Amino acid sequence: MFFTLMEDTLIGRLLLAGDEQGLRFLLFDHQNSRQRHCVPGADWEQNDAHFRETTKQLKAYFSGDLKKFDLPLAAEGTDFQCRVWQALMDVPYGETASYGAIAKALGQPTASRAVGMANGRNPISIIVPCHRVIGVSGKLVGYGGGLNRKLTLLQLEGIAV
């Protein structure tokens, strides 16, 4: 059984989806059709109570009172993708990293393009902070939620871009 919730936030509507293992998806409303593994099925159930802690932490993050999420996550991906997503969790609030820096941190300094691909497939936006990845030149680069949302999230964290 999958549980879902649509949550209105500072940067638009978010789709939360998960099960008893944890949060599997946090997607921007317009992304839903682009995520192959996030197509609502007959076994999906709207359940506000299941996401009470998630929504509490998201509200605290958007109000500037939370710097690190503490939630059970259950994203599915390849071993490499999961390693990249874990490395994203290690980029502190208010800081950024480049694809190359993350590749180096993973012990694969030539894998920056693969890191970018894994970053783009992050199914738990914001909580797994893919918005903190910028180009090596310091410029904003792609973001599934759009560059305006990325800029808003970075500014929320006090990052001048």
Computed on alpha carbons and rounded to an integer, the radius of gyration of the chain in Å comes to 15
Active-site option among 101, 130, 133, 134: 130
Distances (CA, A) of 128 to 9, 86, 119, 137, 147: 17, 8, 10, 22, 17
Sheet holding 2-9, edge to edge: 22-28, 12-19, 2-9, 44-46
Query: Helix (H, G, I), strand (E, B), or coil: what is residue 119?
Result: helix
Look up 130 and say whether it is catalytic.
yes
Q: Which residues pair with 27 in a beta bridge?
A: 15
Report CA 13 to chain centroid distance, whole Å.
14
CB atoms within 10 A of CB 49: 7
Q: Which of 99, 91, 85, 87 is nearest to 140 (CA)?
A: 99
Residues with catalytic roles:
130
